[in-house]
Structure 1
Amino acid sequence: MKTIQVLLVEDDPMVREVNRQFIERVEGFKVIDMASDGVKGIEKIKALKPDLVVMDIFMPEQDGIQTLHQIRAENLNVDCLTVTAANDVQTIQQILHLGVFDYIMKPFTFERMEQTLIHYRQFKEKMASASDVSQAELDEMIGQAWQPINEEQEQVIKVSQDLPKGFNRATMDKVLKYLKQCEVGASADDVATGIGVARVTARRYLDYMEKNEMIRVDIQYGSVGRPINQYFIEE
């Protein structure tokens, strides 16, 4: 597949440069231009016709939400990915309703960006080579392989129906999925790096899940320094 051309729309010059470097570290992606606000972003979309726009939300002149509305209203043929510090539910819902491919919260790791871009490239490659798709093929493309709910998933659903303020099921599912892959357990630092969240966030979820008997914790003592909590999925 051809190189995916990316337009980067971000008002902070330092963040813009970091994001450019992250994007171009992923094979098959090239940042063809950058814009500092939504007005300039729309102009460049029309002139350059990029495949993907990676866009901030809080910007001068015209913010990301207004820009997404304009992209959809004018039926501009471009995919969109938001990279933003916005973490309130109202903003997240607005952006998801406007059909972004993914929503990445600042601060984020290179691995989190890489994961999204690889998924996006795979999606575009499969769509380009297909004329018709089955439900299973579509599920695979969008990363939502359907499976019957098992007992462990029922436990997650039951606990997450009434989560404390500041918790959400999607993050809890990511923590569980990561721990499943760790046969020897994982620390809060491991989980934070593995799913692309802050260590304090990972620790909050791990502590909550351990208290609700969804996972177990073992304290491991090294020769130097404080003991480390290692978290495991309950068998």
Structure 2
Amino acid sequence: MSQRIMNVLLIEDDLMVQEVNRQFVERVEGFRIAGVAGSGVDGIEQLRSLQPDLVILDIFMPLQDGIETLAQIRKEQLCVDVIVISAANDQRTIQRMLQNGAVDYIIKPFKFERVQQALEHYRAMKEQLEGETTVSQSELDHMLFGATGRGVSAADPIQSDETTAAQLPKGLQAVTMRQIVLFLNDRPRPLSAEEVAEGVGIARVTARRYLEYLEKSGRVHLDLQYGLGRPVNKYIISGVKR
């Protein structure tokens, strides 16, 4: 049985970024662009008529920015999921978008692989949630954290009730944790906190906090690499052969 096509509405005012987003989205199997809007006002109008599965939303736009647009989407209870792609990288803005229900947040400039990662995880989560069966805690954790199976299984202690999103240490966000785990899952070699920070689009000190937590909880393995200077802490998903 062929998979359902996911319809995507782009809300982005920069024509060049519009075209990049269009090309990236349509390179991912099972996704197509249903419409493009250059402002939040136009985006809301198209959203009401097109009723897409997913909105890819910028923040800095004329007439109505992405923050106001996402707030309006939630106020009107429009049935759509949102992935933010924006140059806004301050923690307050990111937090506001996540609190209003963005399922992912990608910081410009970005690479195709990051968009592909976001869309494929979104599809997997959507398909599982649209099923008519119930899910267990470990299955839900698997969806939320985005573990792809390399070195991680539903029976792994890192997916148990002891490490659910609700019990993360203060200051750690489930969405950011999911992004880091997804990024590491797609990399076969150990990475430094700086490499993870650059790949995910967060500050190095922030990446280090998440990686240290993941290492203590057994999700990642700490690999000390020695060179001419001080040893460098590098991290890899536990169970991956190095």
Normalising by structure 1, we get a TM-score of: 0.70
Indicate conservation of the 8 Å contact 1:179/1:232, yes or no.
Answer: no
Is residue 79 from structure 1 mapped to residue 81 from structure 2 by the alignment? yes
Question: In 1, Cα distance between the equivalents of 2:23 and 2:48?
Answer: 24
Question: In 2, Cα distance between the equivalents of 1:130 and 1:180?
Answer: 30
| Structure 1 residue 143, shift from structure 2 partner | 2.3
Is residue 12 from structure 1 mapped to residue 20 from structure 2 by the alignment? no
Aligned to 1:139: 141
Indicate conservation of the 8 Å contact 2:180/2:200, yes or no.
Answer: no
Aligned to 2:225: 217
1:47-86 deviation line (CA, Å, top 9, x unaligned): 1111100000110000011111111111111111110111
Question: In 1, Cα distance between the equivalents of 2:185 and 2:140?
Answer: 27
Indicate conservation of the 8 Å contact 2:192/2:235, yes or no.
Answer: no
Question: In 2, Cα distance between the equivalents of 1:8 and 1:180?
Answer: 26
Structure 1 pair 73/110, CA: closer, same or farther in 2 (3 Å)?
same
Aligned to 2:49: 47
Question: In 1, Cα distance between the equivalents of 2:194 and 2:233?
Answer: 11
Which of the pair has more CA radius of gyration? Answer: 1
Normalising by structure 2, we get a TM-score of: 0.69
Aligned to 1:166: none
- Give the residue type in structure 2 aligned to 1:108: F
Task: Give the unaligned 5+ runs of structure 2.
Answer: 147-153, 212-221
1:134-182 deviation line (CA, Å, top 9, x unaligned): 22222222226734779xxxxxx9xx989xxxxxxx58x938x739964
- Give the residue type in structure 2 aligned to 1:22: F
Aligned to 1:106: 108
Indicate conservation of the 8 Å contact 1:72/1:98, yes or no.
Answer: yes
Aligned to 2:217: none
Indicate conservation of the 8 Å contact 1:109/1:196, yes or no.
Answer: no
| Structure 1 residue 124, shift from structure 2 partner | 1.4
| Structure 1 residue 127, shift from structure 2 partner | 1.7
Task: Give the unaligned 5+ runs of structure 1.
Answer: 151-156, 163-169, 221-228
Is residue 174 from structure 1 mapped to residue 174 from structure 2 by the alignment? no
Structure 1 pair 190/75, CA: closer, same or farther in 2 (3 Å)?
closer
Question: In 1, Cα distance between the equivalents of 2:10 and 2:47?
Answer: 10
Indicate conservation of the 8 Å contact 2:6/2:31, yes or no.
Answer: yes
Question: In 2, Cα distance between the equivalents of 1:21 and 1:112?
Answer: 14
Structure 1 pair 192/233, CA: closer, same or farther in 2 (3 Å)?
closer
Aligned to 1:116: 118
Identity of aligned residues (%): 44
Question: In 2, Cα distance between the equivalents of 1:124 and 1:179?
Answer: 20
CA RMSD across the alignment: 3.9
Question: In 1, Cα distance between the equivalents of 2:46 and 2:207?
Answer: 41
Q: How many residues in Structure 1 have an aligned counterpart in Structure 2? A: 205
1:103-126 deviation line (CA, Å, top 9, x unaligned): 111111111111110001111111
Is residue 65 from structure 1 mapped to residue 67 from structure 2 by the alignment? yes
